[in-house]
Amino acid sequence: MRGPNVIKGYYANPDATAEAKRNGWFRTGDIGVIDADGYLAIVDRKKDMILRGGFNVYPREIEETLLRHPAVSLAAVVGVPDERLGEEIKAFVVLKPGQEIAADDLIAWAREEMAGYKYPRAVEIRPALPMNASLLVPPCVSSNNGRMPTTSLPSRATTMRRSRPPPRQRHHSYCHEKPVKSPSNPSLFCSRRQSGARRAKSRVSVTTSIFSIG
């Protein structure tokens, strides 16, 4: 992608910036496929792709399959080093409250649900998975030889809470520049335009008639 909204680069990381930005284009690392009807679907991220014995395996596809199991609440799939295949597939799973299933039984179920080179050969059942503020498992497992950090899973209420701006800031979001009070009527606010004109803005509520505004 390219445009004025794209980042200029990674802070204090020129190597990552040079790899991601080429000839004005920012390479997001997303992998997509176009179907016969011309629709584009995002499959996964290139950095997360697992190369198992020459086959490209996308963790997102395996995670979505595991989530179809009635006992699985959360799943994170990563590639771990393997001497024979290069990488092997490992899944970290959180079960739903009150549900129980052995790791071997979940592997056997996954074998029936996906291709032979895709299903995870190792499953580790955890009480929780570490997640960032975007409710995503951080990409630190692959470089940690398949060991999941022990950070506890934050609650959704904590991660999704966002601080709201003060009421005055929200009220003056229409202003091009810093608003000032009208000298003749303190209840009116206006903003200075580049032309130097002053246009008054009145406080408007849900009960205000549109005919009285003018």
Query: What's the pLDDT tens digit per position in 13-49?
Result: 999 999 899 988 999 888 888 999 999 988 888 888 9
117 vs 96: CA distance, rounded Å: 27
Mean pLDDT on 169-192: 44
Predicted local distance difference test score (pLDDT) of residue 105: 97
Strand, helix or coil for residue 20: helix
- The one-letter amino acid at 103: A
28 vs 1: CA distance, rounded Å: 7
* CATH pick for 31-160 out of 3.30.300.30, 3.30.70.3190, 3.40.980.10, 3.40.50.300: 3.30.300.30
Strand, helix or coil for residue 92: strand
CA distances from 200 to 173, 197, 206, 214 (A): 14, 10, 19, 12
pTM above 0.75, yes or no: no
Say if residue 139's pLDDT is above 70. no
Contact 103, 83 (CB under 8 A): no
Contact 155, 92 (CB under 8 A): no
Mean pLDDT on 66-83: 94
Contact 155, 95 (CB under 8 A): no
- The one-letter amino acid at 47: K
User: Which residues, in sequence order, are bridge partners of residue 181?
Assistant: 189
Strand 40-45 and strand 30-34: pairing?
antiparallel
Predicted local distance difference test score (pLDDT) of residue 186: 47
The enclosing H or E element of 87 equals strand 86-95
Predicted local distance difference test score (pLDDT) of residue 151: 45
Predicted local distance difference test score (pLDDT) of residue 200: 45
Q: What is the CB neighbour count within 10 angstroms for residue 136?
A: 11
Which of the four pLDDT bands, split at 50, 70 and 90, describes residue 157?
Answer: very low
Residues of the chain with CATH 3.30.300.30: 31-160
Contact 172, 162 (CB under 8 A): no
The enclosing H or E element of 204 equals none
Selection from 166, 174, 162, 132 nearest residue 149 by Cα: 132
Predicted local distance difference test score (pLDDT) of residue 212: 54
